[in-house]
Amino acid sequence: MGLLKIEGVTHWSIGVNNLEEAEAFYGDFLGLEARGRLGGTRISCFSVGDNNILLCERDQPLEVPTAEDNKVHHSFTVSPETLTQACKLFAEKQVVIDELVYRGKGFFTGRELYFFDSSGNRLELRDPTWQEGMATPSFEEIVREEIVHS
Protein backbone atom coordinates (compact mmCIF):
# COMPACT_ATOMS: atom_id res chain seq x y z
CA MET A 1 0.00 0.00 0.00
CA GLY A 2 1.20 3.48 -0.81
CA LEU A 3 2.07 6.18 1.68
CA LEU A 4 -0.82 8.32 0.43
CA LYS A 5 -4.40 7.35 -0.37
CA ILE A 6 -5.49 8.95 -3.64
CA GLU A 7 -9.29 9.07 -3.76
CA GLY A 8 -9.86 9.71 -7.44
CA VAL A 9 -8.83 11.55 -10.56
CA THR A 10 -9.90 15.20 -10.85
CA HIS A 11 -8.78 15.62 -14.46
CA TRP A 12 -6.13 14.79 -17.03
CA SER A 13 -4.50 17.51 -19.12
CA ILE A 14 -3.61 17.23 -22.80
CA GLY A 15 -1.31 19.77 -24.41
CA VAL A 16 -2.62 21.13 -27.72
CA ASN A 17 -1.17 23.45 -30.36
CA ASN A 18 -4.40 25.31 -31.22
CA LEU A 19 -7.22 25.42 -28.66
CA GLU A 20 -10.05 26.16 -31.09
CA GLU A 21 -8.96 23.33 -33.40
CA ALA A 22 -8.64 20.95 -30.43
CA GLU A 23 -12.06 21.96 -29.06
CA ALA A 24 -13.61 21.09 -32.42
CA PHE A 25 -11.76 17.77 -32.57
CA TYR A 26 -12.60 16.62 -29.03
CA GLY A 27 -16.10 18.12 -28.91
CA ASP A 28 -17.59 18.03 -32.40
CA PHE A 29 -15.61 15.07 -33.73
CA LEU A 30 -15.09 12.75 -30.74
CA GLY A 31 -18.29 13.84 -28.99
CA LEU A 32 -16.88 14.72 -25.57
CA GLU A 33 -19.04 17.14 -23.58
CA ALA A 34 -17.70 20.70 -23.59
CA ARG A 35 -17.82 22.19 -20.09
CA GLY A 36 -16.26 25.54 -20.95
CA ARG A 37 -13.06 27.46 -20.65
CA LEU A 38 -11.33 28.03 -17.34
CA GLY A 39 -11.55 31.75 -16.61
CA GLY A 40 -9.56 33.87 -19.03
CA THR A 41 -7.09 31.07 -19.74
CA ARG A 42 -6.33 29.09 -22.88
CA ILE A 43 -7.60 25.93 -21.16
CA SER A 44 -10.84 24.21 -22.10
CA CYS A 45 -12.59 21.53 -20.03
CA PHE A 46 -14.35 18.51 -21.53
CA SER A 47 -15.96 15.57 -19.80
CA VAL A 48 -16.70 11.96 -20.67
CA GLY A 49 -18.42 9.75 -18.13
CA ASP A 50 -17.05 10.71 -14.71
CA ASN A 51 -13.76 11.99 -16.17
CA ASN A 52 -12.64 15.52 -16.94
CA ILE A 53 -10.07 16.36 -19.59
CA LEU A 54 -8.39 19.74 -19.85
CA LEU A 55 -7.13 20.86 -23.25
CA CYS A 56 -4.24 23.22 -22.50
CA GLU A 57 -2.93 25.36 -25.33
CA ARG A 58 0.86 25.34 -25.47
CA ASP A 59 2.75 28.64 -25.56
CA GLN A 60 4.84 27.27 -28.42
CA PRO A 61 3.27 24.67 -30.75
CA LEU A 62 5.16 21.37 -30.80
CA GLU A 63 6.09 19.45 -33.87
CA VAL A 64 3.73 16.53 -34.39
CA PRO A 65 4.99 13.60 -32.30
CA THR A 66 5.10 10.08 -33.65
CA ALA A 67 4.10 6.70 -32.25
CA GLU A 68 7.73 6.15 -31.29
CA ASP A 69 7.32 8.73 -28.50
CA ASN A 70 7.16 6.01 -25.83
CA LYS A 71 3.66 4.96 -26.89
CA VAL A 72 2.19 7.67 -24.61
CA HIS A 73 -1.53 7.99 -25.30
CA HIS A 74 -4.98 8.63 -23.86
CA SER A 75 -7.58 5.87 -24.18
CA PHE A 76 -11.37 6.08 -24.49
CA THR A 77 -13.71 3.10 -24.10
CA VAL A 78 -16.27 2.66 -26.89
CA SER A 79 -18.81 0.10 -28.07
CA PRO A 80 -18.04 -2.21 -31.01
CA GLU A 81 -20.45 -0.17 -33.14
CA THR A 82 -18.73 3.11 -32.25
CA LEU A 83 -15.30 1.71 -33.07
CA THR A 84 -16.57 0.57 -36.48
CA GLN A 85 -18.22 3.97 -37.04
CA ALA A 86 -14.97 5.70 -36.04
CA CYS A 87 -12.99 3.71 -38.62
CA LYS A 88 -15.30 4.92 -41.38
CA LEU A 89 -15.35 8.51 -40.13
CA PHE A 90 -11.58 8.65 -39.61
CA ALA A 91 -10.99 7.36 -43.15
CA GLU A 92 -13.44 9.92 -44.55
CA LYS A 93 -11.93 12.84 -42.57
CA GLN A 94 -8.34 11.64 -43.15
CA VAL A 95 -7.49 11.33 -39.46
CA VAL A 96 -3.98 9.91 -39.14
CA ILE A 97 -4.23 6.28 -38.00
CA ASP A 98 -1.31 4.72 -36.12
CA GLU A 99 -2.51 1.13 -35.81
CA LEU A 100 -5.41 -1.22 -35.11
CA VAL A 101 -4.54 -3.82 -32.50
CA TYR A 102 -6.39 -6.94 -31.38
CA ARG A 103 -5.18 -7.68 -27.85
CA GLY A 104 -6.23 -11.10 -26.56
CA LYS A 105 -3.99 -11.19 -23.51
CA GLY A 106 -2.78 -8.68 -20.96
CA PHE A 107 -4.34 -6.18 -18.64
CA PHE A 108 -6.43 -4.25 -21.20
CA THR A 109 -7.75 -6.75 -23.73
CA GLY A 110 -9.92 -5.86 -26.69
CA ARG A 111 -9.81 -4.15 -30.05
CA GLU A 112 -7.79 -0.91 -29.99
CA LEU A 113 -7.68 1.80 -32.65
CA TYR A 114 -4.75 4.21 -32.21
CA PHE A 115 -4.85 7.58 -34.00
CA PHE A 116 -3.61 11.17 -33.68
CA ASP A 117 -5.57 14.30 -32.78
CA SER A 118 -5.13 17.66 -34.52
CA SER A 119 -2.09 18.46 -32.31
CA GLY A 120 -0.39 15.10 -32.84
CA ASN A 121 -1.39 13.54 -29.50
CA ARG A 122 -1.77 9.76 -29.73
CA LEU A 123 -5.26 8.61 -28.73
CA GLU A 124 -6.95 5.22 -28.50
CA LEU A 125 -10.51 4.03 -28.93
CA ARG A 126 -10.85 0.68 -27.13
CA ASP A 127 -13.64 -1.86 -27.64
CA PRO A 128 -13.28 -4.13 -24.57
CA THR A 129 -15.88 -6.60 -25.87
CA TRP A 130 -13.54 -8.07 -28.51
CA GLN A 131 -12.08 -11.41 -27.39
CA GLU A 132 -9.47 -13.80 -28.71
CA GLY A 133 -10.94 -16.01 -31.43
CA MET A 134 -13.23 -13.30 -32.83
CA ALA A 135 -12.68 -11.86 -36.32
CA THR A 136 -9.68 -9.54 -36.81
CA PRO A 137 -10.39 -7.43 -39.92
CA SER A 138 -7.88 -4.75 -40.84
CA PHE A 139 -8.75 -1.04 -40.62
CA GLU A 140 -9.21 -0.96 -44.40
CA GLU A 141 -11.49 -4.02 -44.34
CA ILE A 142 -13.66 -2.42 -41.64
CA VAL A 143 -13.92 0.78 -43.69
CA ARG A 144 -14.80 -1.11 -46.89
CA GLU A 145 -17.37 -3.30 -45.14
CA GLU A 146 -19.08 -0.27 -43.68
CA ILE A 147 -19.23 1.44 -47.07
CA VAL A 148 -20.78 -1.65 -48.66
CA HIS A 149 -23.45 -1.88 -45.92
CA SER A 150 -24.20 1.87 -45.74
Residues 12 and 39 in one domain: yes
Residue 68's pLDDT is: 57
Which residues constitute the domain of residue 121?
63-150
Q: What is the pLDDT of residues 42-84, one digit of tens each?
A: 999 999 999 999 999 999 887 765 555 667 899 999 999 999 9
Query: Is 49 in contact with 7 (CB distance < 8 Å)?
Result: no
pLDDT (tens digit, 9 = 90+) per residue, 102-140? Answer: 999 999 999 999 999 989 899 999 999 999 999 999 999
The CATH number linked to 139 is: 3.10.180.10
SS3 48: strand
Last residue of a domain, one of 43, 62, 81: 62
Phi and psi (nearest 5°) for 78?
Answer: -135, 165
pLDDT of residue 150: 42
- For residue range 91-103, list pLDDT tens digits in order: 999 999 999 999 9
Which pLDDT does position 71 carry in this prediction? 79
